[in-house]
Copies of this chain bind each other. A is one copy, B any other.
Amino acid sequence: VTYVRNAWYVAAWASDIGKGSVLGVQILNERLVVWRSITGELTTLTDRCIHRLAPLSLGRCEGEKLRCMYHGFLYDRTGRVVEIPGQDRIPDGLRVSVYPSTERHGWVWVWMGDPAAAHTHLVPPVPGMDRSGYVFGRGQLDYNAGARLINDNLLDLSHTSFLHAKSFRMSETWAREHPKVTSRERGVVSERWFRNEGALGVIGSEPKVDTYFCFEFFVHGVLTQSFKTYALGTADALNGERPDDDPTQEYFTTQAVTPLTDKTARYFYMFATRQRRDDQTEYDSAEWATIETGFSEDKVMIEAQQRNIDLAPDARCVATAGDKCAILFTRLVKTLVRQESTDPTPEGT
């Protein structure tokens, strides 16, 4: 499995790393320590003290520095060793690697490729937990499956009709009709109308409405989905084009799939719905329970899929009409990976 390295990966929820906090994470098989100094500066370093390879994530933030709590080596924010207890001289070049990191949309992002190419405008422009007028729910799952399988799941939402038949109870339109799919420079977009169905496509829900659904999927594993409900007939009146007017109902969800190792991944997700009252602060608990059920259905299926693949590594997939979005994204990834190998320090675009 190949992942684009010149990309921002979600390492953690920003609110989980307060001032002075130290957190060990893993991305693309590499162990990293993400920490926030007393003044709030984020730093990401290789999570391995140069002395005896102990994890710095078991260390302690001291002001703007991070101390390994095994034998006390002290590192600054550039990864340089600035103190060795019991030794006056510090040899040149004692350092761990620094990974560019930044905070956006409620997440801490880490750049896994060439630091010179780590432009913050390449952080996927997704709506996050900082939007006003919404209530939010968030969740996180660790998968015993490769990130690629989760990405494939999210790129081909025809599974909604079957895998989530009992939880989200959405119609077979997801599988029977195909969305309009468009390539972007660092992602793919998928758009569609659900005509004359329950709000948000829920089977049996009344009154019938038209729902516009759009998702945008960015390298490497970040996406946002938007559901907007309109009066019956809107889709046809717009000739199936994208609506501009305010919807009667709306929610969006932003998600990130971070590869931990080749066969494990961490899946971050948040959902947002419009506040129903000014004082509403929490996601509706019944709706949230349905979301969690749906997400566990994906996990069960995808982890079983991974086990199947491990047991039959030579088995080949068969592409279908519904796979278009996944195929476009895979092609984009290949292009970007090839660019990285020929031009390892590209300008951001």
Contacts and interface: CB of A to CB of B under 8 A. Distances in A.
A54 B162 contact: no
Copies in the complex: 3
Nearest to A315: B53
A161 B53 contact: no
Contacts of A176: 85-86
A94 B316 CA distance: 12
| Majority secondary structure, A binding face | loop
Contacts of A320: 51, 71, 84, 86-87
A199 to B, nearest CB: 23
A301 B53 CA distance: 10
A262 interface: no
B158 A317 contact: no
B72 A300 contact: no
A70 B309 contact: no
A311 interface: yes
A159 B58 CA distance: 13
Given A31-B312, A54-B308, A69-B301, 13 more contacts: A48-B315, A50-B317, A51-B318, A53-B317, A55-B308, A68-B162, A71-B156, A71-B175, A71-B320, A84-B321, A85-B172, A86-B322, A87-B322
